[in-house]
Amino acid sequence: MSNTSHAQTLQAVAGKPREAESASITGPSEIALTNVSKTFALGKGQTLDAVSNVNLNIAGGEFIALIGASGCGKSTLLRMIAGLEDPSQGSITIAGQSPEDCIKRQKLGIAMQEHGLMPWLSAWDNVALPFRLAGLPVDTERVDELLALVGLADFAQALPKQLSGGMKQRVSIARALVLKPDVLILDEPFGALDAVTRRLMNNELQRIWSQQPTTTILVTHSVEEAVFLADRICLMSPRPGRLALIEEVELNRPRGLDTMHEPEFRQTLAKLTAALDDVCTQGSRQ
């Protein structure tokens, strides 16, 4: 995603100025998906069924991971939850409100595979950007707090070109959290990083999330990443995407890199990897 398109996404998430809207969503950030389907028009009368009849309830403060083969509809489902796509059928509510209402109240944060940092802005100003897009005064203490939380207080004035890939993603996550969202949307945030950096970033995200728990939905191609981070993992079948399996992750928090060596982690990883292979094999035969 280009910086321009990512800025447009930030603008959508930031929504209208807070004073133009009613009070923020109250109560737990429970998310309910009811019979959600998405069909795209391809032109010349052709259509593509991307997601079919998904039903899912996500508790407030829960961390959910969506996994599945490329093209199974994970990101489409995520975009519908984020209010960036409308379902063709069914409904999605966040704390009883529509995703659009959540956006208007600045209660939804997004971080994607492309960090989307503005190259002419410092790390500090990139994190502060959602305040400005929403027409709100910048909470300097909040920006400082989040840069410290992601371990980048000493790089506040650095430009993106002066930061490593992992550091850029930490700035992106800090930016997604700056308006204290009820829901955090993560679309392959570490997909472009090398394996070592990705594992370290998983550990960082787990630490950040443990300190500021937020209802979170992660799309990832990495089963290991999903098991390490999530409370529940939703395995989607090949297109049209359906929920083929929902697996509880029974690992204690907080989790560290040593968690990946625990027998329970290895067993859950093996079970989900086998299930993913099975679902993909069945899909290829259809």
**Are the beta carbons of 61 and 231 closer than 8 angstroms?**
no
The DSSP annotation for 127-196 comes to HHHHHHHTT----HHHHHHHHHHTT-GGGTT--GGGS-HHHHHHHHHHHHHTT--SEEEEESTTTTS-HH
Q: Confidence class of residue 87 from pLDDT cuts 50, 70 and 90? A: very high
Q: Is the pLDDT of residue 19 over 60?
A: no
What is the average pLDDT score of the chain?
87
Break the chain into its structural domains and give their ranges.
3-22+31-40+49-285
Q: Which H or E run contains 79?
A: helix 74-81
Which pTM was predicted? 0.85
CATH node for 3-22+31-40+49-285: 3.40.50.300
Residue 33 in 3-state DSSP? strand
Separation CA 229–CA 238 (nearest Å) = 23
165-177 vs 123-133: helix axis angle to the nearest 10? 30
Residue 130: is the preceding peptide bond cis (ω within 30°)? no
253 token code pair: 């928090």
In sequence order, the 6+-apart residues with CB closer than 8 A to the CB of 8 are: none
- Cα 170 to chain centroid distance, Å, stands at 13
Q: What is the pLDDT of residue 283?
A: 60
Q: Do the Cβ atoms of 185 and 65 come closer than 8 Å?
A: no
pLDDT category at 282 given cuts 50, 70, 90 is confident
Q: Evaluate if residue 161 carries a pLDDT over 90.
A: yes
67 in Cβ contact with 236 (< 8 Å): yes
pLDDT-based confidence at residue 63 (cuts at 50, 70, 90): very high
pLDDT band at 213 (very low <50, low <70, confident <90, very high): confident
Query: Nearest 5°: CA angle at 134, between 207 and 117?
Result: 55
